[in-house]
Amino acid sequence: MPAVTEYLRRAAAPRLVVSLSRTRWPQQWRAALRRLFKLRPAMELFFAFDDPYAAIALPGLIKIAEAHKADLKLRPLITRGIEGDPAAIQRRVHAITDSRRLAQRDGRTLMRTAPLQAQDCTFLAAWAASAQAHTKLNHFVAVALNKLWFESNEPPTAKNYAPLYLSHIGMNAPEINSRQSAQLEANAKRLKQLGHWESLAVRVAGEWYFAHERLAQIDARLRALGA
């Protein structure tokens, strides 16, 4: 008996731990329940308007969500990244270069040549936060990001984007208020609580992806879950 116990301790138990760490049965079980009760799989995208990757990936994410009947919730951010990151400026410059490459692969041309700052897009993030529950929010954000990165190289102004908000949301763009600011702070807090820190992060049925790099994997993930 001691020999059997020692074998279980040294060999069988470690293999069992590794096997359990790799299994997705809890998520697959939840997926089966969603199918049984006809619930939509959840996709939660944390993004910043000043992030060019958002303009690259969102159209594809919307198509994937629609194809799998997934619930794609957008969480706009003002605060993102690692606080005090010494390479933050270089990362923003690289994002422009990399996004231009990704856009060309899709037959598109990135118009903007220099990074935007979070404060340049605060009004857009606030508008998105104020329309968080609106059914046309995702399409408004996609159109606004396209205009921001693919149609202009000028500093964005509320006046130039207000018609987009009106045409998609059906009301005049709101003034920035404390409620919107609280929602944006809550989005950043939720991102960190869930274990991430940066745009363009999407959580799909409990798993994280950088959306601009993993559209095919996100699609495959939803398909594997039977969505």
Span 59-102, pLDDT tens digits: 999 999 999 999 999 999 999 998 888 889 999 999 999 999 99
The confidence score (pLDDT) of residue 34 equals 52
Q: How far apart are CA 101 and CA 84, in angstroms?
A: 28
Q: Which residue segment(s) compose the domain that 185 sits in?
A: 29-224
The confidence score (pLDDT) of residue 11 equals 46
For 1-55, the pLDDT digits (tens) are 455 444 434 444 444 433 433 455 555 555 555 555 456 899 999 999 999 999 9
The confidence score (pLDDT) of residue 4 equals 47
- The answer as to whether 38 is a domain residue is yes
- The answer as to whether 8 is a domain residue is no
Q: How many domains does the chain have?
A: 1
For 144-203, the pLDDT digits (tens) are 999 999 999 999 999 999 999 999 999 999 999 999 999 999 999 999 999 999 999 999
Q: Are 192 and 148 in contact (CB under 8 A)?
A: no
Peptide bond into 200 cis (omega under 30): yes
The confidence score (pLDDT) of residue 227 equals 63
pLDDT over 60 (residue 106)? yes
62: left (phi over 0), alpha (psi -120 to 50) or beta: alpha
Return the CATH number at 50. 3.40.30.10
The whole-model pTM stands at 0.83
Q: How far apart are CA 224 and CA 212, in angstroms?
A: 20
- The answer as to whether 142 is a domain residue is yes
- The answer as to whether 5 is a domain residue is no
- The answer as to whether 174 is a domain residue is yes
79: left (phi over 0), alpha (psi -120 to 50) or beta: beta
- The answer as to whether 7 is a domain residue is no
| Amino acid of residue 108 | R
The confidence score (pLDDT) of residue 35 equals 54
The confidence score (pLDDT) of residue 76 equals 98
Write the CA distances from 58 to 48, 49, 61, integer angstroms: 11, 11, 5
- The answer as to whether 13 is a domain residue is no
Q: How far apart are CA 194 and CA 34, in angstroms?
A: 21
Q: Are 178 and 94 in contact (CB under 8 A)?
A: no
- The answer as to whether 90 is a domain residue is yes
For 112-139, the pLDDT digits (tens) are 999 999 999 999 999 999 999 999 999 9
**Angle, CA 8 vertex, CA 7 and CA 13 arms, to 5°:** 130
Q: Mean pLDDT over residues 222-227, rounded?
A: 84
